[in-house]
Amino acid sequence: MVTAAPGEDRSPALALVNTWRLTPGGPVDDLGSPGEATSWLHRHALAAAVPGAEELSRLTELRTAVRELLAALAEGRAPDAAAVEAVNAAARADAAAPQLAWRGGPRREWHSTRPGTIDAAAAALARDAIDVAGGDLGPLVRPCEAHGCVRFFFREHARRRWCSTTCGDRVRAARHHRLVVEQRETSP
Ligand SMILES: [Zn+2]
């Protein structure tokens, strides 16, 4: 298991984008098969099963759209219109309603009218992506600056530049290596 990037615990849409990543050993996809996608959804409190390739591609297409949304936020540009429409379409797939839950205090929760369906799971992810884009977290979206890493995170601390300590260590090790090589080349 890879460590979650900062913010994944607050945003399942961010976690969705980071299910596809590059590692020194090659690309890794947590949504590589319907079975893997089902357990990923369960780990993120989205109780839906991904029965086949068609449902799986709905999730991976939504992931592509949300990735474009996060990239646009990080780069301060407008996202691709098709990506916005894909996220909106996914959000419309389930007629969820706001419900008041009283757990030691008032909480607004969205309850699906079709719980357990792939539509409900995709809509919950899309709704979260919309909340991120239109809310306080939007300006915090950053791509990891480590070379070869494609994960995103929320920069809640001004100095954070990497999605994980692994990436930070890798960058520092590469910088050190470069320095050693340069010293060797410039020494007589
Ligand atoms: Zn990284």
pTM: 0.89
Q: What is the pLDDT of residue 47?
A: 81
Query: What is the C-alpha to C-alpha distance for residues 167 and 149, in angstroms, rounded to an integer?
Result: 8
Distance 14 CA to ligand 1 centre (A): 13
Beta bridge partners of 106: 102
Domains with residue ranges and CATH for the chain: 12-186 (1.10.3300.10)
Q: What is the pLDDT of residue 173?
A: 86
Distance 127 CA to ligand 1 centre (A): 25
> What is the phi/psi pair of residue 102, to 5°?
-110, 100
Distance 141 CA to ligand 1 centre (A): 13
Q: Is residue 188's pLDDT more than 80? A: no
Answer whether 21's CB lies under 8 Å from 27's CB.
Answer: yes
- Residues shown for the chain: 188
Residues 156-178: pLDDT tens digits? 988 899 999 989 998 888 888 88
Distance 97 CA to ligand 1 centre (A): 36
Helices of type H across 27-164: 34-43, 53-75, 81-92, 118-134
Q: What is the pLDDT of residue 124?
A: 95
pLDDT band with cut points at 50, 70 and 90 for residue 31: very high
Q: Is residue 187's pLDDT more than 80? A: no
Distance 149 CA to ligand 1 centre (A): 5
Answer whether 32's CB lies under 8 Å from 39's CB.
Answer: no
